[in-house]
């Protein structure tokens, strides 16, 4: 273990995928990890494997989150929990908008607000926000609300560094591209079909790649803040330019 001063971490969305791998990775560094998610059964399995402390709470449960945080001294907060939907702003529903804003943005703001006060008091801490390349690039087929919420967390990460200037509190944003997790299966309702469509013929990131990226930032010397990491598969690029043809009736 290094000389880093962190003793405890809170990881949201910890029951599977990237979140579970972050719990495993930080636990191997000797950090006491508090794993937060809704799936109590999966959390219990993760606890038996890693020794993490589990909290079967939704990040949208404001009262539950406040009660949890009030009894902890959190040195590392990993805002990882997130949701997505299919479609775009032309065919989304009010319920989908509310759900994505609640989990992807509002919960991150509220949890950060609750945790950062203790970090300031102790003058140590590290906030890690897991966003997405969807927060930085527009691309056809992406869910508009998802893009907007991830862009909001990107802006939060930037502003936090201003708010925390003068304190020994670091802020890192890790922005992954396509990563092989269950999220695609949940989107289309079929895990096997999602595997064939999105992963079998492509080289994608794995959850442990993102966990290792988080560990690199967290375990870096205290003089060093890894502020932003964009993590892509080697065989994926972002961006692109398309033109639509004029219609025959255009003026």
Q: What is the pLDDT of residues 57-114, one digit of tens each?
A: 999 999 999 999 998 999 999 999 999 888 899 999 999 999 999 999 999 999 999 9
Contact in structure between 69 and 12 (CB atoms under 8 Å): no
Structure tokens at 200: 């079998």
> Distance between CA 231 and CA 3 in Å, rounded?
26
DSSP state of 142: S
Choose the weakest-confidence range: 135-144, 215-224, 225-234. Answer: 135-144
Q: For the chain, how many structural domains are there in total?
A: 1
User: Lowest-pLDDT range, 11-15, 85-89, 153-157, 235-239?
Assistant: 235-239
Q: Cα separations (Å) of 238 from 134, 139, 159, 186?
A: 10, 8, 25, 24
Closest CA to 143 of 203, 186, 206: 186
CB 103 within 8 A of CB 81: yes
Residue 241 lies in a domain: no
Give SS3 for 200: coil
Q: Residue 185: inside a domain, yes or no? A: yes
CA distances from 150 to 71, 103, 138, 225 (A): 29, 11, 12, 21
1 pLDDT band, cuts 50/70/90, is very low
> What is the rounded distance in angstroms from the CA atom of residue 218 to the CA atom of residue 216?
6
Measured CA to CA, the distance from residue 37 to residue 50 in angstroms comes to 16
Q: Please give the C-alpha separations between residue 69 and each of 146, 188, 205, in angstroms, as whole numbers.
A: 27, 34, 32
Domain of 148?
Answer: 8-227
| pTM of the predicted structure, to 2 decimals | 0.91
* CATH assignment of the domain containing 88: 3.40.50.720
* 3-state secondary structure (DSSP) of residue 219: helix
Distance in angstroms (rounded) separating the CA atoms of residues 231 and 234: 9
Name the packing angle between helices 144-163 and 107-122 (round to 10°).
20
Tokens of residue 230, six digits = 């964009």
Checking if the pLDDT of 119 tops 50, the result is yes
Do 15 and 42 touch, CB atoms closer than 8 A?
Answer: yes
pLDDT tens per residue, range 171-201: 999 999 988 876 766 666 667 766 776 677 7
Does the pLDDT value for residue 6 go beyond 60? Answer: yes
CA dihedral 139, 144, 145, 149 (to 10 degrees): 30
Burial class (CB in 10 A: 0-12, 13-18, 19+), 25: buried
In-domain check, residue 166: yes
Beta strands in 120-168 (DSSP E): 125-130
Tell me what the pLDDT averaged over the chain comes to.
91
Question: Read out DSSP for 159-181?
Answer: HHHHHTTTSSEEEEEEEE-SB-S
In a domain, 2, yes or no: no
Tell me whether residue 251 is in a domain. no
User: Is residue 250 predicted with pLDDT exceeding 60?
Assistant: no
8-43 residue pLDDT tens: 999 999 999 999 999 999 999 999 999 999 999 999
DSSP 8-state code for residue 128? E
18-22, 85-89, 127-131, 206-210, range with the lowest pLDDT: 85-89
SS3 15: coil
More confident residue, 168 or 84: 168
Active site residue ranges: 146
Q: Report yes or no on 91 lying in a domain.
A: yes
Q: Is residue 178 part of a domain?
A: yes
Q: Does residue 203 carry a pLDDT above 80?
A: yes
């Amino acid at each position: 273990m290094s000389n880093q001063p962190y003793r405890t971490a809170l990881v949201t969305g910890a029951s599977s995928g990237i979140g579970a791998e972050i719990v495993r990775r930080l636990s191997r560094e000797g950090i006491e990890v508090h794993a937060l998610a809704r799936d109590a059964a999966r959390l219990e399995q993760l606890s038996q494997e890693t020794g993490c402390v589990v909290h079967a709470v939704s990040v949208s449960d404001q009262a539950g989150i406040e009660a949890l945080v009030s009894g902890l001294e959190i040195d590392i907060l990993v805002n990882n929990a997130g949701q997505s939907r299919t479609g775009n702003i032309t065919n989304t529903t009010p319920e989908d908008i509310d759900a994505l804003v609640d989990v992807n943005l509002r919960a991150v703001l509220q949890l950060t607000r609750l945790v950062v006060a203790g970090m300031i008091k102790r003058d140590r801490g590290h906030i890690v926000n897991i966003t997405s390349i969807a927060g930085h690039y527009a691309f056809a087929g992406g869910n508009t609300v998802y893009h907007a919420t991830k862009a909001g967390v990107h802006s939060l990460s930037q502003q936090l560094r201003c708010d925390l200037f003068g304190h020994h509190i670091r802020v890192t944003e890790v922005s992954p591209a396509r990563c092989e997790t269950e999220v695609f299966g949940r989107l289309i309702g079929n895990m096997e079909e999602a595997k064939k469509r999105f992963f079998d013929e492509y080289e994608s990131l794995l959850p442990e790649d993102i966990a290792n990226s988080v560990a690199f930032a967290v375990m870096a010397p205290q003089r060093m803040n890894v502020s932003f990491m964009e993590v892509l598969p080697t065989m994926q690029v972002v961006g692109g330019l398309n033109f639509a043809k004029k219609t025959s009736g255009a003026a």
